[in-house]
Each structure stands twice: as structure tokens, then as C-alpha cells.
Amino acid sequence: MKRSTIWILTAVMACAFIGLLVVQIMYMENMVKMRNEQFSEGVMRSLYGVATMLEQNETKYYLDQDLSEAALTQSYQGSSFGFSNDEVALDTIANSLDNIKIKRPANFKNLKNLHDSYQAKQEILKGQYLYQKGLLNEVILTILSQSSDRPIAERADSLTVNDYLKSELAANGLPLPFEFAIVSRSNGVAYKTTGYNPSNQAEVYRQVLFPGDPVNKQNTLNVTFPTKSDYIFSSIKFMIPSFAFTFILLGVFVYTVIVAFKQKRLSEMKNDFINNMTHEFKTPISSISIAAQMLNDDSVRKSPTMLKHVSSVINDETKRLRFQVEKVLQLSLFDRKSATMQLDEEDANSIIDSVINTFKLKVEKYGGNIEAALDAEDPIIKVDKMHFTNVVFNLLDNAIKYRREEVPLHLQVATRNPDDTHIEITIADNGIGIKREDVKRIFEKFYRVSTGNRHDVKGFGLGLAYVHKMITLFGGNISCESELNKGSKFIITLPLYN
């Protein structure tokens, strides 16, 4: 699949996921907003019901008070209208009217007497009606003029308010715990429940009690709901699995895209590897083939000098071919969970000095030199000698490959003990260096720095990856410090043999 195709699919899927998330978030916000509105409407309806019931209680209070006074007055006046005290009540009056029945008289005289009796009763009931009307008017005037002077704790008893709130909220489908307070315009908080301490005034629901009171004497019922957020979001809990599945799909998608790009890059690296390997093998094979053809020439066989030269070419190219084959075989290490190694006590200074001696002639050939400072007092480490030798060999070989043509090659190899348990090995050069963005990736398999992609330094991108893997298996770590056109320094830290 082409890289452009992967990018297009990635863009389309990313837009789809973003759109899905936006729709889900908008839906959740609308749900929360609607639930908030429903909650507020239910609470205000409940508070209005509480205020109404408190007003009815106050009306009943004054009505009972005036009726008691009226009954006391009636007991002193006697029965002016020929009725007992029980007949003073309004319901008795209504029953009296209903009990009035007109019977067919036996004669005219009886009819006249009945008519006079009916008129007398009418007058009596009219008087009772006017009296009760005056009594009600007196109650209304008392409420208007005196009710606001009563203490709010008597007019709106805390237990009564609590009970009314519970019943009204339950009737409106809001059986939630609440805290409330009665707040006066002039005197502040009249009383409040223990848990009433609103941190956000926007979450306080208010209802004016007894709105007929003078403005400066009005009281407000304030209510808060500590578990309101839980109640609101309980209605959108079903969205949590939806978001979870969406993010899982998003994670899988991102992982798939990353894997696709890695596989694409790995495929490109493997193609480069095959091309480089073909080139690296082709040159020594061609040289050996030419040398073999020369050996078939009688003149060459008769000349000791030519024979020695041809034999030397075959020997050198065979070594070169063997070295390349070993590097290819190192690839198998990356496909195993662990490499088979023989770990023994080894002297790091001794191994490094041996590799340096091997490279001296090659370095001097390019007009350079190697400076060695093997100062580690305790150089004993536990490693596989062959693999450790290859590690040092690869680093020195890279230093020679990526040298600067216009500057004499200078290599520095040093060892020291930074503490009692480790040895530090430093290999530095004054070569072409590595870009900062490439330093982070030089230990990746098949990765090759672009500045080194020259014909005379074709490689497989395995050397530093192999070095990193071996150092890790030895229990150590390796890092690189490099600056473009100034050189590179590789620092290896390994645990000492205990």
C-alpha cells in the first residue's frame, strides 16, 4: 500500500472519529441541560407548593383564633337568635338552610303561621351570614396588618418546612437529600439546617414566603441539593460505555496506523538492506572471480609476484565476504527473544587493546591515529568475548567509514571506573557526525543515517542495532553524543563482574 493511501485513510478515519466524538459530546451536553431544566422546574414547583401550604396554615391559624374569640363572645351574649353555640358555625348555617322544608298546610291560618316562621328564620340566617362575613373580613385584615410581625420561626416552623419539602419533592419525583435555610431581607439567616453551606450561589433555589408581607420584612426559603450532580449525571451513565468503546476503537485505529507506517518503513528498510547486501556481496565476488580467471593464465602462474598479488586479493576479498556474511547472520539475533551467549570473566582493557591494534594500520592508512587511555583499574566484566569484540569492532569501523575526507582521522578510546560497580567505555571520533534528529534512531534495526548513504560506505543498518542489543543483554547501556561535522562519541556503561 502506498504511503499516500495510508495518509488518506488515516485522515478519513480521523475525521469520522472526531465527528463521532463531537456528536456524542453535544448529545451529552443537551441531555445534561435538559435534565437540569427539568430538575429546576420540579424544585421550583415544590417550593411554590411549600409556600402555598405555609400561607394556608397561617390563614387557618388566624381563622381559628378569631373563631375562638367569637365563640367566647357568643357565650357571654347568650342565644340572641334562639340558637345554641354550635349553630354559629358556617356549616350549621348551611345545614339549617337545607333543613327548611315547606309542607302543604291544612288550612290558610296554618299557612300564614308557617310563612311568618319562614321569614323569621330568613332574618336570623341573614344576620348569621353577615356576622360570619364580617368575621372573615376581620381575619383577612388581621393577616394583612399583623401577620408580618409574627416571628418567622412560628410562621414557618423548621420541622413543618422540612416535612413539606420532603412531601413536595417526592410528589415531583425528586426524592433527594436537601439542606435549607430561611433568610430574612433585614436580619439575614433566621435559621438553617446543619449542612446548609452553599459554595455556589447559582446552585441555591429560592422561593419568597408570604409574598403579601412588606418588602423589607419578606423572608426567602433557600434550598440546596448536595447530591444534585450525581442525580443529573445518573441519567447519562449509559453514555460512559459509548465513550469507552469509542476511545477503544480510537486507540485500536491509532495503533493500526502506527503499525502500518512501521511496516511500510520496515519494508522500505528491508528493500534498502537487500540492495545494499547485493552490492556488498557483488564487489568481493567479482574480485574473487577476476582473480580466479587470472590464475588460469599461465603467465600469471609463472610470475611469483603476480601470483602473490592475486592470492592476496583473493584472501582479502574472502575475508571481506566472510565479514559481510557474519553481519547478515547477526540479523537472526533480532528475531529471537534471547541470543545464545557464553558469558565469562573477561578483561575489557585487554579486548579493547586487541581491537585497537587490529585497526591501527587501517587508521594510519588514512593518515589518522588512535589515542588509547585504558585507565579502568577494575576492567573485569562478564560478557561473551566474541560479541563484545564485535561491539568494539563495529564502533571503530563506523568511525573509519564516516570520517571527514578533508580532516585527518583521530580516534579516542578510553576506559574508566565511574564507581565501584561499573566500567565506562568511551569511543570518540572527529568524523562527519550525526544530526540531532537522527541520534534518537541510530540504534533502530535497518535505520541508516542519510549522510552516510554513500557508495563507499554502503551498509545494512544493523551495526548499531546489534551493538545496542548486545550491550543490553550484557546488562549495560549505551548512549551517543554527536554534533554534525564535529564528530561523535559513544559511551558504554557495563556492570563489573562481582
pLDDT tens for 172-229 read: 988 889 999 998 887 788 888 888 888 777 789 999 888 877 777 788 999 999 888 8
- Across all residues in the chain, what is the average pLDDT? 78
Query: Taking the model in full, what pTM does it have?
Result: 0.45
Q: What is the pLDDT of residue 97?
A: 44
Rounded CA-CA distance 256/448 in Å is 25
Q: Please give the Cα distance from 363 to 411 (Å, whole number).
A: 9
d(CA 329, CA 345): 25
Question: Which residue did the predictor score with more confidence, 103 or 68?
Answer: 68
Q: Which residue did the predictor score with more confidence, 176 or 323?
A: 176
What average pLDDT score do residues 229-250 get? 83
| Domains delineated in the chain | 3-149 (no CATH), 264-330 (1.10.287.130), 339-495 (3.30.565.10)
The predicted-structure confidence for 243-276, as pLDDT tens digits, reads as follows: 888 888 888 888 888 888 888 877 777 777 777 6
pLDDT at site 140: 58
Give the separation between CA 112 and CA 118, rounded to whole angstroms.
10
The predicted model gives 75-99 an average pLDDT of 47
Looking at per-residue pLDDT, the higher value among 4 and 32 belongs to: 32
Cell of 395: 564502533
pLDDT band at 444, cuts 50/70/90? confident
Taking the C-alpha atoms of residue 288 and residue 314, their distance in angstroms, rounded to an integer, is: 5
Pick from 110-114, 179-183, 402-406: least confident: 110-114
Confidence at residue 100, expressed as pLDDT on a 0 to 100 scale: 45
Mean pLDDT, residues 408-425 taken together: 93
Instruction: Give residue 440's pLDDT band: very low, low, confident or very high (50, 70, 90).
Output: confident
Q: How many other CB atoms are found less than 10 A from the CB of residue 284? A: 20
d(CA 20, CA 13): 10
pLDDT at residue 46, rounded to an integer: 93
**Is the distance from CB of 402 to CB of 461 less than 8 angstroms?**
no
The pLDDT assigned to 90 comes to 46
Maximum separation of any 2 CA atoms in the chain, in Å: 181
454 pLDDT tier (thresholds 50, 70, 90): very low
pLDDT of res. 314: 83
3-state secondary structure of 106: coil
In tens, the pLDDT along 261-318 reads 888 877 777 777 777 677 667 777 877 888 888 888 877 777 888 888 888 878 877 8
Query: What pairs with residue 483 in β-bridges?
Result: 487
Non-local (6+) Cβ contacts of 471 within 8 A are 391, 477, 478, 492, 494
Residue % of the chain over a pLDDT of 90 = 19
Cell representation of residue 153: 420561626
**Interatomic CA distance for residues 128 and 385, integer angstroms:** 125
More confident residue, 344 or 362: 344
